[in-house]
Chains A and B, each alone.
Chain A
Amino acid sequence: MLSTFFTPRNLLSNLVQLLMVAAAIGGAYYLFLSTQENLAARHIETGFAFLSQEAGFPIGDSLIDYQSSDSYGYALLVGIINTLYTAILCIILATVVGVIVGVAQVSDNLLIAKIAKTYVEILRNVPVLLILLFVYGVALAGLPSVKQAVEIFPGTFLSQRGLYFPRAIPEDGFIWVAMAFLVAIGLTILMVRWAKKRQNLTGRSLPLFWLGTAILTLVPLSVFWMAGGPVSWDYPALKGFNFSGGAVFRPEFLALVIGLALYRGAFIAENVRSGIMAVSKGQNEAAAALGVPPSRIMRGVILPQALRTIIPATTNDYASLVKDSSLAIAIGYPDMVSIGGTMIGQNGQAIEVIGIWMLVYLSINLVISVLMNVANKKFQLVER
């Protein structure tokens, strides 16, 4: 390695590269120093000491318990958790929307295909901010006021204050139900393996989906019944200005999740469509010639091959989705950017807060990228 560095042929080009790297590092260091100096000259505080000071501002929607007497760092954590929560939920929903609409786009049924196409074209070509504002505006205009809340199920209320529903409180013995659920997952995995082996040997398949669902629901439910229903419910009730008790999805949260999922779903639908189109037509015809029913051709033959082209493109869409979630501030959902913005307004330490934002988004997207690469490897064509 080192010996090739000094060969006459490489020496010059390597030296130039070294100089470039040194200049880049030096430039960055100079920027850092001069920023520090200028901030000090303007008596603007630097560093992360502020994270332990009292925040003092309220947060409207938090998954963990938060009081305004908590620290800035804790407030920011509330925002990061909110961002993660919406991001994960949106990724799942957008994927479901994307797969359904994408498959619908290549449907033989002209009506379904056209509707799917129209959906994709409209959603894909409107700025996501407008979609969020639209969904939020429609939600506020369309939902009844809190005094006229609609009870859609017993104990579940929908109004401008959001969707209030009963909260389950686990009691003694609930641990058995949770363990039964884990056992059911294990059983399902074993069953799937056994069924696969059996299919390889005999060629006969089992209705895996229905069997799996049955195991996953029946096993924990029977334990739940045997343990005497170890759950109590906290029902929401209208008290004064608002519902109290229960759990809630607030309109800002719902609008953000629905808006982002519908928008990003349109992009994923295009990935799915192009992935399906990229699978050679012969695969479809061969499967059909063997008498495989159309729904199984899609699930068992086309989609697994299409995933090879779908996954890399969809990785980008997941990353964009995570970044789009910062638009939450426009519709009043307290995500990381909204809460950080308030902090900047209060103590003026913009560089530090923006640095934290960048780090969090970078980390989330790197994790997504790693997971998607693992999935991608799994679905690449195995050369025989």
Chain B
Amino acid sequence: MKKITGLLAAGFALFAGQAMAATLDDVKARGFINCGVSEGVPGFSNPNAEGDWKGFDVDMCRALSAAIFNDPTKIKFVPLASKQKVLAVVTGQVDLTSRTTTWTMKRDTKEGVDFTSVVFFDGQGFMTRKQNGAASAMDLNGATVCVTAGTTTELNLEDFARANSLEFEPVVFEGKKEAVNAYRSGRCDALTTDASQLAAFRITMPDPAEHVILPEIFSKEPLAPLVKHGDNAWKDLVTWTINGLITAEETGVTQGNASEQKASSKNPTVQRMLGVTGDYGSYLGLENDWLYNAIKAVGNYGEIYDRNLGSESPLNMPRGKNALWTKGGLLYVAPLR
């Protein structure tokens, strides 16, 4: 019921206020950011036992909060279901979403939102039981596959099967939970959805070590935070905070050594990033040490990844495509100058 009234209110807002002030001014006046997150995907955004939001997407919002307020806690997290996420941004219910949203042409052009910087390169994959002995998706011929009814997951699966002359027997469920349960109980040999979510579901299995995610990734799912279309200053701020965190990893600035680097680094890029030289913060309407504060709060991109998704987390996902371009990955951001 609450959701319905929320949607209704959002719908009315669609007609009402177009002439809203710049988002950054609103945020500063309000004193906190409204950050839309998912309803609970381990590793990305999930409340822990104390009710604190943790995860990769959550840390992106924390970095933003630190950049604006020099305090990573000035955030109100708003959990959004998949179908709410776009409307919530368009109507101003949240200032941005930081929740596994694929950048597509239609969303970017027709739905009143803009994408900022890609934070995670995802793609659809398979998870299967180790005992099946499949080393690659090509070994899955004839397998029964649990799928969620969705816009692209079923199509991607079928395209992949046709392109490689494989045959799958799909069992299609309305929700993720039902599909995962059916896979867990042994109804299906394999489960297919975005690889990052497979990793998250894997650790919720009673025997995570018995399940493997196969190497084939057969769709493009670049995930990026969403902001409202038209507020370019706010879009720039979110984009460059993310770019800054990635640049920090490139230049080796970490949560631990940021103060030291600020005091002594001779690297001009580092000096610009940390606000030693130039006035880059003012380009975004912020203090010049905005990125320094963000890095001090949550670390650089690599640290955020390792803590939530990578080697230091239960998900233990390899960096793969999300490594820096210098290390064979896809992370390549515009220069900070």
Contacts and interface: CB of A to CB of B under 8 A. Distances in A.
B307 to A, nearest CB: 35
A342 interface: yes
A43 B106 CA distance: 12
B155 A346 contact: yes
Contacts, number: 84
Interface in A136-158: 137, 140-141, 145-146
Contact of B171 (A56, A252, A342, A345): A252
A334 B142 contact: no
Contacts of A345: 149-151
Interface in A102-136: none
Contacts of B171: 60, 250, 252, 332
A60 B170 contact: yes
A360 B141 CA distance: 36
B178 A342 contact: no
B30 to A, nearest CB: 32
Contacts of A68: 158, 162
Interface in A331-376: 331-332, 334, 338, 341-342, 345-346
A345 B152 CA distance: 9
Contact of B185 (A56, A141, A242, A342): A141
A334 B159 contact: no
Contacts of A242: 142-144, 169, 189
Interface string B138-178: 00111110100111001101110110000011111110001
B150 to A, nearest CB: 6
Contact of A240 (B142, B149, B159, B187): B142
A195 interface: no
Interface in A33-75: 43, 56-60, 68-69
Contacts of A69: 162
**Which size class do A's interface residues fall under?**
20 to 34
Contact of B168 (A58, A146, A338, A342): A58
Most buried by A among B150, B161, B186: B186
Contacts of B151: 345-346
Given A332-B173, A338-B174, 19 more contacts: A56-B158, A58-B168, A60-B169, A60-B171, A68-B162, A137-B181, A140-B182, A140-B186, A160-B186, A161-B187, A239-B142, A240-B141, A240-B143, A241-B189, A252-B171, A329-B149, A330-B174, A332-B171, A338-B172
Interface of B: 110, 132, 140-144, 146, 149-151, 154-155, 157-159, 161-162, 168-174, 178-179, 181-182, 185-187, 189
28 contacts: A43-B110, A58-B154, A58-B158, A58-B168, A68-B158, A68-B162, A137-B181, A137-B185, A141-B185, A160-B186, A161-B144, A240-B141, A240-B143, A241-B143, A241-B189, A244-B142, A252-B171, A330-B178, A332-B146, A332-B178, A334-B172, A341-B149, A342-B149, A342-B172, A345-B149, A345-B150, A346-B151, A346-B155
Interface of A: 43, 56-60, 68-69, 137, 140-141, 145-146, 160-161, 239-242, 244, 250-252, 329-332, 334, 338, 341-342, 345-346
